[in-house]
C-alpha cells in the first residue's frame, strides 16, 4: 500500500522538475497575482488528465490521437508566446493574465496529455492499486506545481518584469516549436 502511493509520488514529482508543464506554470505565475487560482486551474487539469490515465490506461491513446493533442498543445504554446511578445510595454509592468484559472487549466491540460508523467501514471496504474497511484501522482504534481508557482512569483518581484515577460514569451514559443518537432520523431 505505501509503495503504491510513494513510488508514483516520488517518480512523478522528480519527472516534473524542468518539464514543459512546470515551465508553463512558471511563466504563467509571473503574469498574475492570483497564484491560488492559477494553481487550482492547473490541479484541475492534472486531476482530469492524470485521472483519466489512471482509470482508462491506454484507452486514452485510442480515444484521442496523440498527433491531435500535441498539435493543439503546440499551437497553444505558440499563441501564448506570441501574445506575450506582442503586448504593449505599459501592459507588461502589471500582472495581466486575465483568467489565471482557465489559462492554467487549458495550458496544463493540453501539455500534460501524452506527457511522460501521464504515461507513467498509466504504467503505475497497471502495476499498483489505482486509488493509491492516483493519490501519489496528484500529490507529486501538486507539490512540484506549488513550488514552481512560488518560484515564479518570487522571481517576478526580483527580476525586471519586462525582461521576465519577454522571457516567458520566448519560452512558450520554444515549447511550441519543441512540441511540433516531437511530432516528427
pLDDT tens-place string over residues 107-158: 899 888 877 778 778 777 777 788 898 999 999 999 999 999 998 888 766 7
* Confidence bin at 97 (pLDDT 50/70/90): low
Under 8 Å between Cβ of 137 and 129: no
State pLDDT tens for residues 69-81.
678 778 877 887 8
- Cα separation, 130 vs 132, whole angstroms: 6
Question: Where do we find the cell 480515444?
Answer: 63
End-to-end CA distance of the chain: 38
> What pLDDT shows up at residue 162?
72
Max intra-chain CA distance, the chain: 54
| Global confidence as pTM | 0.73
The listed range with the strongest mean pLDDT (23-27, 156-160, 167-171) is: 23-27
Amino acid at each position: 500500500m505505501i509503495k503504491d502511493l510513494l513510488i508514483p509520488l516520488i517518480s512523478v514529482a522528480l519527472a516534473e522538475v524542468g518539464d514543459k508543464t512546470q515551465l508553463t506554470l512558471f511563466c504563467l505565475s509571473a503574469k498574475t497575482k492570483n497564484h491560488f487560482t492559477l494553481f487550482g486551474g492547473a490541479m484541475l487539469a492534472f486531476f482530469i488528465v492524470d485521472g483519466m490515465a489512471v482509470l482508462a490506461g491506454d484507452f486514452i491513446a485510442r480515444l484521442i490521437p496523440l498527433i491531435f493533442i500535441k498539435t493543439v498543445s503546440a499551437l497553444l504554446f505558440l499563441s501564448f508566446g506570441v501574445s506575450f511578445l506582442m503586448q504593449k510595454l505599459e501592459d507588461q509592468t502589471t500582472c495581466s493574465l486575465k483568467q489565471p484559472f482557465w489559462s492554467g487549466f487549458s495550458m496544463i491540460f493540453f501539455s500534460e496529455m501524452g506527457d511522460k508523467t501521464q504515461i507513467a501514471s498509466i504504467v503505475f496504474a497497471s502495476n499498483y492499486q489505482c486509488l493509491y497511484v492516483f493519490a501519489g501522482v496528484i500529490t507529486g504534481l501538486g507539490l512540484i506545481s506549488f513550488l514552481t508557482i512560488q518560484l515564479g512569483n518570487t522571481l517576478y518581484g526580483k527580476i525586471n518584469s519586462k525582461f521576465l515577460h519577454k522571457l516567458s514569451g520566448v519560452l512558450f514559443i520554444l515549447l511550441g516549436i519543441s512540441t511540433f518537432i516531437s511530432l516528427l520523431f
